[in-house]
């Protein structure tokens, strides 16, 4: 298993290198000379030259990239122009907030998507199945920022049940932290629940028609036991690996949700950075998200091997 | 004298599968509902200049945040503009962004996928590795970063969305080409010495077209949400030009005073996206040869 993980990590290196080229190239898309913007209105030639030297802009682009990559590998993603803090420090500050949101969203997605998928498969081609499919399709089609706005309107403005904003860190005030995160987590978990429902249904439909399920039923086992113990246990493998991938996507999906509910997380960090032209932060967030996404891909692959005895045996 | 290029290799008539697919599509109620929704919004978008509606950018200080009424069917916004009019004109931006960004993804991505799958070898290795890298970057984050660096406007948002969606088309096309290129008719075309470009355009592309069409339809739905998201963040359509995403951006500041400002643009995005999703699902079933 260890050698498998090492092999998968090695395979990720070229992918990360290509992503690093893309992220580095982003700053070259900027119109105009960034040094002139930094030098202010006076445009002192000495200051301009100093800045060019400092940021190695006099070097050829490939050399600039190598220096940038060297720093990034050592955890130096540059400094935020807005807060004058290292980009990695900012990312490390904001990430726990988004991870809390992502975990709560996943819980919502599991609680809604998996039971709905199982029910739709067991009651295949009945009214319940069609309703579940319509709900899933709606979940996939509804823009989560609109769902968030509508929930604020209903739950916060009209009913006054939950606060629309006012994030509290979990370890300082767990109860209020959960209260402020309930709506955003539901909004973010909604589309995932739809995806999970579709995959659970599809996996369960294929397992329920297998010979061993027919045998289990022929032996007179209770339907509950057939569905939950025999079928779901075998259908759970693709669902678990899909969940690991979805968790990676949540980091990105949080951008709009955090914006609407004013949650000071990873997504809000990139949006604020975009509007303050804090490009080092934008680059840092893109790079860190890609690394997170690749790590979750790796987790998905490892989980697949751990949970599948046939794959484990073939290692 | 007949040159090798002029030799025609009989291929299955494209007409019959197409008409069979259309018959299956017509029998699929969900797909028809999707098609109807898309046609409705497309018609509104095209006919916007001809409809008897107020100028979408005309402000009225005496009609600020007015609730829906006989005069303003869907109400007015924070500076007295007619919401119905802005919704109809906003449909242009949303549909255009959805279709054009997917067109960018298809026009750039499909040739890469064709070349990668057909030629294999080092070209395939390079294209596949780059595609994998781009697939590892979340779609919306890539689009936001590109839109931020390119500059905030609708055209750049479309380019950003198109480029972010492109890797899916490269991978899909490559996979399809790998399956098709070993077919007898492709071997036949190769054996009589047809040029690679002819084989790709005449024998491979038509046979990998169906899954690309399905993916394109489903990606339009994603692209419409992405454009609305970028406009919502202020990285797409710029004020005062109307777009559903930017209307929602303004509306979120007046939720308790003017809830109608937020309801309609979001409902429109939801309807159009569900329309493309229904049509995409229907097309997938209709074009799937296993479901003959």
Q: Give pLDDT tens digits for A193-204.
A: 999 999 999 999
**B189 Cβ partners below 8 Å, 6+ apart?**
B9, B198, B199, B202, B203
- Total residue length of chain A: 315
Of A25-39, A68-82, B153-167, which has the strongest mean pLDDT?
B153-167
Q: Tell me the per-residue pLDDT of A135-160, one tens digit each, with 9 for 90 and over.
A: 999 999 999 999 999 999 999 999 99
Higher confidence at residue B2 or residue B219?
Answer: B219
Which residues are paired to A86 by β-bridges?
A79
B230 band by pLDDT with thresholds 50, 70 and 90: very high
Region for A156 from its dihedrals, namely left if φ exceeds 0, alpha if ψ lies in -120 to 50, beta otherwise: alpha
Beta bridge partners of B161: none
Q: Which residue of B has its CA nearest to A279?
A: B149
pLDDT beyond 70 at B7: no
Average pLDDT over residues B120-126: 93
Rounded average pLDDT over B81-99: 95
pLDDT at residue A303 in the model? 83
Query: Could you tell me the CA-to-CA distances from B226 to A220, B94, B164 in Å, in that order?
Result: 51, 10, 10
Q: How far is B1 from chain A (nearest CA, A)?
A: 51
Measure the CA–CA gap between A100 and A266, rounded to whole angstroms: 11
Best of A95, A102, A140, A141 to disrupt the B interface (most B CBs within 10 Å) is A141
Residue A21's pLDDT is 93
* The Cα angle at residue A311 between residues A309 and A312, in degrees rounded to 5: 60
pLDDT digits (tens, 9 = 90+) for B20-30: 888 888 889 99
Main-chain phi, psi angles of A76, to 5 degrees: -100, 100
Is the pLDDT at A250 greater than 70? The verdict is: yes
What per-residue confidence (pLDDT) applies to A314? 65
Task: Return contacts of A150-157, CB within 8 angstroms, 24+ apart.
Answer: A150/B262, A150/B263, A150/B266, A151/A183, A151/A186, A151/A187, A152/A183, A152/A260, A152/A261, A152/B255, A153/B255, A153/B256, A153/B259, A153/B262, A155/A183, A156/A183, A157/B255, A157/B256, A157/B259
**CB contacts, 8 Å: B138 with chain A:** 248-249, 251-253, 289-290, 293
What is the model's pLDDT at position A127?
94
Asked if A160 contacts A73 with a C-beta cutoff of 8 angstroms, the reply is no
Contact assignment for B150 to A29 by CB distance below 8 Å = yes
A152/B270 Cβ within 8 A = no
pTM (two decimals) = 0.88
What does DSSP assign to residue A86?
A: B
How confident is the model over B202-214, as a mean pLDDT?
92
Q: Which of A267, A272, A248 is nearest to A257 (CA)?
A: A267
Query: Is the Cβ pair B136, A19 closer than 8 Å?
Result: yes
Q: Is the pLDDT of residue B102 over 80?
A: yes
b/e sequence A273-286, b meaning 16+ C-beta within 10 Å: bbeeebbbbbbbbb
Q: Which pLDDT score, from 0 to 100, does residue A293 have?
A: 84
Q: Which helix (H) or strand (E) holds B98?
A: helix B83-119
Residue B181 burial class via C-beta count within 10 angstroms: exposed 0-12, middle 13-18, buried 19 and up: buried
Q: Give the torsion sign (CA, B98, B135, B176, A237).
A: negative
Is residue B58 predicted with pLDDT exceeding 70? yes
Cα distances (angstroms) measured from residue A99 to each of A106, A258, B210, B285: 10, 12, 39, 38
Contact A31, B156 (CB under 8 A): no
Residue contact A279–B149, C-beta within 8 A: yes
CA atoms within 13 A on the CB side of B182: 5
CA distance A225 to A221: 7
In this prediction, residue A8 has a pLDDT band, given cuts at 50, 70 and 90, of: confident
Partner residue opposite A157 with nearest CB, options B235, B256, B269: B256
Give contacts of B234 with chain A, Cβ < 8 Å: 275
Contact B283, B258 (CB under 8 A): no
Q: Which residue has the higher pLDDT, B11 or B62?
A: B62
Measured CA distances, B165 to B108, B139, B228 (Å): 10, 7, 15
Phi first, then psi: give them for residue B63, nearest 5 degrees. -130, 45
- Calculate mean pLDDT across residues B39-55: 94
Residue in chain A lying closest to B145 (CA)? A282
- Per-residue model confidence (pLDDT) at position A98: 92
Residue A244: pLDDT over 90: no
pLDDT at B291 over 70: no
**Residue B278 — pLDDT band, cuts 50, 70, 90?**
very high
pLDDT at residue B13 greater than cutoff 60: no
Taking the CA of residue A224 and the nearest CA in chain B, the distance in Å comes to 32
Higher pLDDT, B259 or B6: B259
Q: Which tops the pLDDT comparison, B14 or B77?
A: B77
Q: What is the pLDDT of residue A84?
A: 85
* CA atoms within 13 Å, Cβ hemisphere of A228: 5
* Residue among A260, A226, A254, A256 at smallest CA distance from A156: A260
> What's the rounded Cα separation, in Å, for the pair B223 and B164?
10
List CB contacts (< 8 A) between A288 and chain B.
Answer: none
The interface predicted TM-score (ipTM) is: 0.86
Tell me if B144 sits within 8 A of B235, measured CB to CB.
yes
Residue B5 has pLDDT above 70, yes or no: no
pLDDT for A118 equals 94
Residue B2 confidence (pLDDT): 46
Give B82's strand partners: B76
Alpha-carbon distances of A281 from A27, A78, A83, A251, B232, rounded to whole Å: 11, 8, 10, 16, 21
- The answer to whether the peptide bond before residue A242 is cis (omega within 30 degrees of 0) is no
**pLDDT of A248 over the 80 cut:** no
Residue B140, pLDDT score: 84
- Write out the residues of chain B at the interface with chain A, using a CB-CB cutoff of 8 A: 129-130, 132-134, 136-142, 144-146, 148-151, 221, 225, 228-229, 232-235, 248, 251-252, 255-256, 259, 262-263, 265-266, 269-270, 273-274, 277-278, 281
Q: What is the mean pLDDT of chain A?
A: 87
The answer to whether the CB atoms of A19 and B137 lie below 8 A apart is yes
**Which pLDDT score, from 0 to 100, does residue B15 have?**
56
Q: Which of B132, B138, B144 lies at the smallest CB-CB distance from A249?
A: B138
CB contacts, 8 Å: B125 with chain A? none
What pLDDT does B144 receive?
87
């Amino acid at each position: 298993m260890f050698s498998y993980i090492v092999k998968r990590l090695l395979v990720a290196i070229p992918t990360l290198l290509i992503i690093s080229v893309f992220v580095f190239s982003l700053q070259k898309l900027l119109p105009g000379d960034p040094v002139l913007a930094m030098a202010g209105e006076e445009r002192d030639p000495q200051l301009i030259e100093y800045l060019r030297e400092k940021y190695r802009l006099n070097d050829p682009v490939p050399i600039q990239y190598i220096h940038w990559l060297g720093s990034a590998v050592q955890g130096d993603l540059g400094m935020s122009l807005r807060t004058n803090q290292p980009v990695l420090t900012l990312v490390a500050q904001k990430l726990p907030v988004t991870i809390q949101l992502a975990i709560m969203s996943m819980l919502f997605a599991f609680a809604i998507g998996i039971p709905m998928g199982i029910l739709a498969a067991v009651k295949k081609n009945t009214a319940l199945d069609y309703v579940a499919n319509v709900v899933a399709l709606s979940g996939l089609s509804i823009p989560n920022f609109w769902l968030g706005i509508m929930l604020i309107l209903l739950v916060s403005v009209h009913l006054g049940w939950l606060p629309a904003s006012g994030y509290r860190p979990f370890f300082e005030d767990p109860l209020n932290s959960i209260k402020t995160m309930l709506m955003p987590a539901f909004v973010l978990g909604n589309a995932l629940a739809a995806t999970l429902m579709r995959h659970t249904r599809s996996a369960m439909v294929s397992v329920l028609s297998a010979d061993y399920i027919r045998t289990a039923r022929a032996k007179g086992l209770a339907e509950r036991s057939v569905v939950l113990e025999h079928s779901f246990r075998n259908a759970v493998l693709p669902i678990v690996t899909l969940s690991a991938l979805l968790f990676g996507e949540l980091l990105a999906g949080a951008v709009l949700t955090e914006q609407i509910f004013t949650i000071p997380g990873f997504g809000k960090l990139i949006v604020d950075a975009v509007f303050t032209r804090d490009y080092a932060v934008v680059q840092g967030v893109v790079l860190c998200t890609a690394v997170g996404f690749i790590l979750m891909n790796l987790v998905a692959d490892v989980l697949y091997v751990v949970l599948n005895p046939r794959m484990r045996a073939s290692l | 004298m007949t040159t090798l290029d002029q030799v025609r290799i009989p291929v299955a008539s494209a007409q019959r599968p197409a008409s069979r697919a259309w018959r299956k599509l017509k029998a699929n109620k969900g797909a028809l509902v999707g098609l109807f929704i898309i046609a409705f919004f497309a018609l509104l978008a095209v006919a916007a200049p001809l409809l008897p509606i107020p100028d979408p950018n005309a402000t009225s200080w005496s009609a600020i945040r007015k609730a829906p009424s006989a005069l303003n069917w869907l109400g007015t916004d924070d500076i007295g503009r007619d919401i119905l009019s802005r919704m109809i004109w906003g449909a242009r931006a949303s549909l255009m962004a959805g279709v054009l960004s997917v067109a960018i993804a298809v026009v750039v991505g499909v040739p890469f996928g064709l070349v990668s799958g057909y030629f294999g070898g080092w070209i395939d290795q390079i294209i596949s590795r780059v595609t994998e890298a781009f697939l590892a970057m979340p779609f919306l984050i890539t689009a936001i970063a590109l839109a931020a660096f390119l500059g905030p406007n609708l055209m750049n948002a479309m380019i950003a969305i198109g480029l972010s969606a492109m890797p899916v088309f490269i991978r899909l096309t490559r996979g399809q080409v790998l399956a098709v290129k070993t077919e007898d008719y492709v071997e036949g075309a190769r054996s009589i010495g047809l040029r690679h470009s002819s084989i790709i355009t005449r024998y491979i592309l038509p046979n990998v077209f169906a899954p690309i069409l399905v993916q394109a339809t489903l990606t339009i739905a994603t692209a419409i949400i992405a454009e609305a998201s970028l406009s919502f963040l202020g990285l797409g359509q710029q004020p005062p030009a109307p777009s559903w995403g930017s209307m929602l951006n303004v509306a979120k500041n007046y939720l308790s005073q003017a809830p109608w400002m937020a309801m309609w643009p979001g409902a429109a995005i939801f309807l159009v996206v569900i329309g493309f999703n229904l049509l995409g699902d229907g097309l997938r079933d209709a074009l799937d040869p296993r479901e003959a």
